[in-house]
Amino acid sequence: MNNTLVIVFVKNIKLGKVKTRLAKTIGNQGAFEVYTELVKVTETATKSLNADKRIYFSESIVDHQWVNHDKYVQHGDDLGERMQHAFQKGFDDGYKRIVLIGSDLPDITANHINEGLTALSKTDVVFGPAEDGGYYLIGLSKMHPCVFKNKPWSQNTLLNTTLQELEEKNIPFTTLQTLNDIDTFEDLEASAFYQNNIKLQERIKQLQN
């Protein structure tokens, strides 16, 4: 067993259930296809990591995705509880450095994840900030439940609120490069992920006609 663990939170790819803000502009089918492509980006980014991996699905395990990986279902009433549960299981199982990422980041690479794991050699908590005020990556080398409790999930104050609390409690942390996730059509259009994916562009145009 490796002493480093990467957890990936992935939504079950169902029509009308993924990228709902994006769907308001390009429709449920368009949002479904964009999210499907984003999950592929995440699979690529995690493929060659020298760390154990666990995939946590939002509702139910999907056999044909993330083949040959350990798979679980997320548990908890909100995102904080679900993340805390996954981290706690990792620490209980003997892992020393754990990083968790989502699956909707167009620019995520193995380097970002490795930087997070490396940072945990020197600090308790690491965040990969997202441009919308949240974070795309969180890592822990010690369990700090406060990170997951009473936080403004899905709000643009999430990261600042969390960092402020860590400062007040003298819990050491560091941050990585800021990345943009895709919540709106403007986010999508501005991303190299979309600009370089001609097939996806054509498909979205086709769906909008």
CA distances from 58 to 6, 10, 52, 111, 145 (A): 17, 6, 20, 25, 21
Q: Which of 156, 163, 115, 154 is nearest to 137 (CA)?
A: 115
Mean pLDDT computed over 138-143: 98
Judged against a pLDDT cut of 70, whether residue 13 lies above it is answered with yes
Indicate whether 205 belongs to any domain: no
**Alpha carbon 180 to its chain's center:** 12
The domain containing residue 172 runs over which residues?
Answer: 4-200
**Rounded CA separation 50/4 (Å):** 8
Indicate whether 89 belongs to any domain: yes
Q: What is the pLDDT of residue 184?
A: 86
Indicate whether 86 belongs to any domain: yes
Indicate whether 62 belongs to any domain: yes
CATH number of the domain encompassing residue 76: 3.90.550.10
Q: What is the pLDDT of residue 73?
A: 97
List, in sequence order, every residue forming a beta bridge with 173; answer none if it has no partner.
125
Residue 112, CB-side half-sphere exposure with 13 Å CA sphere = 25
CA distances from 9 to 44, 58, 125, 177, 209 (A): 15, 7, 18, 20, 33
Mean pLDDT computed over 169-195: 92
Instruction: Share the mean pLDDT of the chain.
Output: 93
Judged against a pLDDT cut of 90, whether residue 111 lies above it is answered with yes
Indicate whether 208 belongs to any domain: no
Mean pLDDT computed over 186-204: 92
End-to-end CA distance of the chain: give it in Å, rounded.
Answer: 51
Pairwise pLDDT comparison (172 vs 17), residue with the higher score: 172
Judged against a pLDDT cut of 70, whether residue 1 lies above it is answered with no
Residue-wise pLDDT tens digits, 114-125: 999 999 999 999
Residue-wise pLDDT tens digits, 143-176: 999 999 999 998 999 999 999 999 999 999 999 9
Mean pLDDT computed over 123-138: 95
Residue-wise pLDDT tens digits, 40-84: 999 999 998 999 999 999 999 998 888 889 999 999 999 999 999
Q: Which residue matches tokens 């990591």?
A: 49
- SS3 per residue for 114-167: HHHHHHCCCCCEEEEEECCCCEEEEEECCCCHHHHCCCCCCCCCHHHHHHHHHH
The C-alpha angle with vertex 12 and arms to 203 and 45, in degrees rounded to 5, equals: 75
Q: What is the pLDDT of residue 200?
A: 93
pTM: 0.93
Domain count, the chain: 1
